[in-house]
Amino acid sequence: FPTRRSSDLQRFNMAQACCGQWAAQAASARRVAIREHVAGQGLGRRWTFAQLQNAANRLSQVLQAQGVRRGDRVAIVLPQRFETAVAYMAVLQMGAVAMPLSMLFGPEALSFRINDSQARVAVCDESTVHALLQARVDCPGLQVLLGVGEAAALADLDLNQAMAASAPTFKPVSTLAEDPAVLIYTSGTTGNPKGALIPHRA
């Protein structure tokens, strides 16, 4: 692919740049996109660009079925794991906005950001589901919890089951380089946390 700065492009999408374009070509689709590192054990599983894109497509279908549309915020409350990368690719290729929330946040910190952003869907795992369930009491707009791994039994939907039942194809949204991609909140140490919208070109 020709090297161009994202600032030079009128249309640009992070997910397409990071995964979609590589998964679309046979030679690069088989290349490793993600390697797992297990503390004390070293490198573990690996996933190719094709596998990452397949999973992202399936999750995009799941999110779309839950009513997520272009511009909607999706809370990603996960540690570093394969499903975290899948969630970002899935949300970004939909033209929706990924909102990373720390797995260290308590219910109050989560509920403020979820309400302020008007997020309707959150993706979590066993490390964050309990705090989200507590926060949800104060988040009337949060309609769906998607659970990864052990969180599936406590969430509204088992993410892996829902993805397995979804189509492996998805037509990405054509986003402008200036369209919002990620919503990051300040720490809130000197007042209420404030959201900063990061565009795709960033």
DSSP character for 176?
A: B
- Check whether 65 has a pLDDT greater than 60: yes
Q: How confident is the model at residue 82 (pLDDT cuts 50, 70, 90)?
A: very high
Q: Three-class SS of residue 34?
A: strand
Could you tell me the pTM of the whole model?
0.92
CA–CA dist 23, 202 (Å, integer): 22
Closest among 80, 85, 107 to 98, alpha carbons compared = 85
CB 120 within 8 A of CB 68: yes
Residue 198 has φ and ψ, to the nearest 5°, of -105, 125
Distance CA 40, CA 48 (A): 24
Query: And the tokens for 50?
Result: 């094709």
Least confident range of 44-58, 134-148, 181-195: 181-195
Average pLDDT of span 25-35: 95
State the pLDDT at residue 62.
98
pLDDT at 66 over 50: yes
The rounded mean pLDDT for the chain is: 93
% of the chain with per-residue pLDDT over 70: 95
In the prediction, which pLDDT does 1 show?
Answer: 45
Q: What is the mean predicted confidence (pLDDT) over 4-13?
A: 74
Q: What pLDDT score does 187 carry?
A: 77
How do residues 97-138 score in pLDDT, each as one tens digit? 999 999 999 999 999 999 999 999 999 999 999 999 999 999
Summarize pLDDT for 127-178 with one digit per residue, the tens.
999 999 999 999 999 999 999 999 999 999 999 999 999 999 999 999 999 9
Q: What is the residue-wise DSSP string for 129-152? A: HHHHHHHHTT-TT--EEEEPGGGG
Residue 51 has pLDDT above 70, yes or no: yes
Beta carbons of 52 and 33 less than 8 angstroms apart = yes
Residue 5 is predicted with a pLDDT of 60
